[in-house]
Amino acid sequence: MRKAREFVVAASFVLACGASAVQAADWIMQQGTEPADTGAYRFFGAGWLTYANNYGCDAFSGLRAPNGTPNGSPSGGPALNNGEYHNACVVPPEFGDTRETNLDNLTAGIRGNLIPGRINYFFAANAGQNFFNYLPFQTSRHVVASVQDASLTFSYIPGARVRVGLFKKPGPEEIQRAAPPEFIFVSASLAQWQQEIFVRSNAYFRTGLPIPGQGYLGGVASYGYDADLGRDWGVQAFDSFKLDRWTLSYALMWGWGNGIHLRENLNPHKDVNAELVAEYDLPGGQGPNKHGIKAYGYYQQGQRQFEINAAGTESEAFDRIRYGVGVRALGELFGEGNGRHRVGFDAMYGQGMIFTTPSGNVVDGNFGDGNLSIAAERGNKARGYTIDYGYYLGDKWRFDLRWGLNQTLYSTAGVWQPADERRVEEWTLGVTHFFMPNLQLSANYQFRDFQAPTAVQPVANTPAAINNASVATRNQDIVTGSVGDRFAVRLVYTF
């Protein structure tokens, strides 16, 4: 079946505003340091109000339960989900309808110096409708508000500032950007497996049943206990170095690896995250929109475990590896006087702990109870690519275009099979009008093509097994074919 890729509301990737104006759009420095002359405190915040409509989606129809016959059974099994919508077709974080208006992000924060030039702090809280305040895939709000960022930076060691607390870990540009993102819809790869959902016990998405050695009945669930939202608690050494028009930056982080709310400690093996950035300064722009050409690479590695019985016995440890490279350019790229342009490319790769979908592709569904499923073994791999372009018409308008490709489980291990591979291709069109520098209205339209490229193979060379494989293949084609285009409109205010 075509698995959901866009399960996380875009506001769940809120990127704290109020970044300082340094010489280049260097997120490591902008969010981790404070100019000595900015004082003891300054407030910042953001609100995003979004209307999203998955108008191109269809409810499931024609799903059958494999029973050894050519057409399967119209009752039981996957057929229980007929009339439901794919989880990529309902609006998070409550997943209750194909169209919703949500306050995706409501952030307020404070940052400043405790000792100018030596110790600075960064704190923000989020009360929006997002995974800061909802358990992943739980359809009701869990808390009113959550801490989004809480860190101290110590600048005593030349070339190695030290940041401690909760903050964004080294990762792709789409997460790091300290301003409202250019696109309302985040890329499919980022939404599905680059950012992390934590579960206690693991299920197989085709059945909803526990995977042997990774879960147990009563432990698998239709929602996770936490998410990382591109952040972690930990300690990070970082700094940047100015070489003529070049800025070179690095970050090396030890991370908690258990989710931002510190609800559990299932993963005793802590994470290591690293990033290298090189940016060439171009004239113009400031703060998050400083003109320049940037190249970066990052690497994340940790291990994850599951509970395999009611006593809390933990499974073997599974590697979780993420890495990627990218480039981004912003400015008068095609000659002075020819307008401001933005060009970006990202390549993301994942090995192990690949989040797939709720069982049956329905949130809290009838089949398999919608239990969440992760392809845990390191041999399970995913990759994603995006290319985006933006054109700025004066100070009031921006026009955006992005192509994205997400391939999950193109390589498989464990119980996972080639037929579990899913492919999502997206084209996103966007336009933004800036009423003021801190007030903007954006609209996105997204074309989506969901595919299950490999047929289910029979488990035996018998008529019943062949029939069951044929029914399962038709089911996954029905599920992937039900996902259509969508659009959204978002009003953003920042201060």
For 155-181, the pLDDT digits (tens) are 999 999 999 999 999 999 999 987 789
- Alpha-carbon span 161 to 155, nearest angstrom: 5
Calculate the alpha carbon distances from 156 to 160, 307, 397 in Å.
8, 42, 43
- Counting every residue written for the chain, the total comes to 495
- Alpha-carbon span 345 to 348, nearest angstrom: 10
122 CB-side CA count, 13 A: 27
Homologous superfamily (CATH) for 10-494: Porin (2.40.160.10)
pLDDT band at 25 (very low <50, low <70, confident <90, very high): low
Q: Is the pLDDT of residue 12 over 60?
A: no
Element spanning 319, H or E? strand 318-331
φ and ψ at residue 63, rounded to 5 degrees: -65, 145
Mean pLDDT of 401-406: 99
- Alpha-carbon span 120 to 117, nearest angstrom: 8
Report the predicted TM-score, pTM, of the whole model to 2 decimal places: 0.92
For 331-380, the pLDDT digits (tens) are 999 988 889 999 999 999 999 999 999 999 999 999 999 999 999 999 99
- pLDDT of res. 24: 42
453: cis peptide before it, omega within 30°? Answer: no
pLDDT band at 122 (very low <50, low <70, confident <90, very high): very high
